[in-house]
């Protein structure tokens, strides 16, 4: 784990809904503060960082204070439109304090299917990063209906890693990593620290319910690993709310699950 973090120059960090949200359903500013400190530190170590952030819908609910139980797709999309602004406003204010400018990139599944669009995305990413600006990516929920969605940000982050040629994808979740069974209902569940083959892992563990705020659960994290490992990108699942988690993974003082890509 330590060497993978140390040797990775291009890192994508995906922030899950449960990580960006406080217990009361509002955006967790303390988390973003600590994330900004970690990103700054990684940049100072000569690494390049791209964020993929969930949380627009939850931020929408806490901003407008209603519609949380509406299942109507238009309301869901309206909540994302409201919350995306709140989310980026929080990122902007906090990262600016660390002298980091941010940029928003909203993507859809179609963007990854078109060669012209992927080229544009890649060029924009490289320009922003060359100029020291931090790209923050999310799915463009307002223009996507369920059938044409990427659907979860674990896979969006994996596609981004593939497109950018990232060395490492870090999925920050509400859990330390992947266990042999769901730890919330099994006290004796064991953390799996290293995975060589995500297909083998899938056969050997049991996957339980996802958390209440979460979207993809463990299945999409394994799907993301299958995508990126194929392209030589490693993937780590770790607990986002643990202070300095990425830096701690780098010096061996925290644990997570590493899907090691062959180099
Ligand atoms: P995120 O919002 O960060 O993407 P999710 O809530 O979708 O995360 O998925 C993480 C949750 O999946 C964990 O909190 C845990 O309750 C649940 N889970 C189910 N099975 C497992 C397992 N085998 N190992 C780890 N977590 C599991």
The structure tokens 């953390």 sit at 191
More confident residue, 65 or 36: 36
Residues composing the chain: 263
207 CB within 6 A, ligand 1: yes
| Residue pLDDT, tens place only, 52-99 | 999 999 999 999 998 888 888 889 899 999 999 999 999 999 999 999
| Residue pLDDT, tens place only, 197-231 | 999 999 989 887 665 555 568 999 999 999 999 99
| Residue pLDDT, tens place only, 148-190 | 677 789 999 999 999 999 999 999 999 999 999 989 889 999 9
Q: How far apart are the first and last CA of the chain?
A: 14
More confident residue, 35 or 25: 35
Ligand 1 atom, smallest distance to 209 CA: 19
129 CB within 6 A, ligand 1: no
Model pTM score: 0.94
Residue 209 CA to ligand 1 centre (angstroms): 7
CATH number reported for the structural domain that contains residue 22 in this entry:
3.40.1160.10
Q: Identify the domain containing residue 232 by its residue range.
A: 2-259
Taking CA atoms only, the protein residue closest to ligand 1 atom 27 is 182
Among 142, 147, 249, 235, CA closest to 197: 235
With vertex at residue 51, the alpha carbon angle to CA 108 and CA 110, rounded to the nearest 5 degrees, is 10
191 CB within 6 A, ligand 1: no
Give the model's pLDDT for residue 198: 96
The residue whose CB lies within 8 Å of the most ligand 1 atoms, and thus the one to mutate among 184, 188, 218, is 218
Give the model's pLDDT for residue 201: 94
Among 163, 136, 133, CA closest to 20: 136
- Number of domains forming the structure of the chain: 1
Residue 175 CA to ligand 1 centre (angstroms): 6
* Cα→Cα distances 161→11, 119, 132, 244, Å: 8, 14, 18, 22
What Rg value do the Cα atoms of the chain yield, rounded?
A: 17
What confidence tier does 141 reach under pLDDT thresholds 50, 70, 90?
confident
């Amino acid at each position: 784990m330590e060497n993978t973090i140390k040797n990775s120059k291009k890192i994508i960090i995906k922030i899950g809904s449960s990580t960006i949200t406080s217990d009361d359903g509002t955006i967790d500013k303390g988390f973003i503060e600590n994330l900004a400190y970690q990103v700054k530190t990684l940049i100072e170590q000569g690494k390049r960082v791209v964020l993929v952030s969930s949380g627009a819908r939850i931020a929408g609910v806490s901003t407008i204070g209603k519609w949380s139980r509406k299942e109507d797709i238009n309301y869901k999309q309206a909540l994302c439109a409201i919350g995306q602004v709140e989310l980026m406003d929080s990122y902007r204010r906090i990262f600016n304090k660390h002298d980091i400018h941010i940029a928003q990139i909203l993507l859809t599944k179609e963007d990854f299917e078109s060669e012209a669009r992927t080229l544009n995305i890649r060029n924009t990413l490289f320009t922003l990063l060359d100029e020291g600006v931090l790209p923050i990516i999310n799915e463009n929920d307002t223009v996507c209906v369920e059938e044409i969605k990427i659907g979860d940000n674990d896979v969006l982050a994996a596609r981004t890693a593939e497109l950018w040629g990232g060395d490492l994808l870090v999925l920050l979740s509400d859990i330390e990593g992947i266990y042999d069974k769901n730890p919330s209902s099994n006290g004796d569940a064991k953390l799996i620290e290293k995975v060589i083959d995500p297909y083998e892992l899938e056969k050997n563990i049991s996957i339980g319910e996802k958390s209440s705020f979460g979207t993809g659960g463990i299945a999409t994290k394994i799907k993301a690993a299958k995508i990126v490992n194929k392209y030589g990108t490693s993937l780590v699942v770790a607990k986002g709310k643990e202070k300095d988690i990425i830096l701690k993974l780098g010096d061996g003082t925290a644990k997570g699950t590493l899907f090691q890509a062959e180099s």
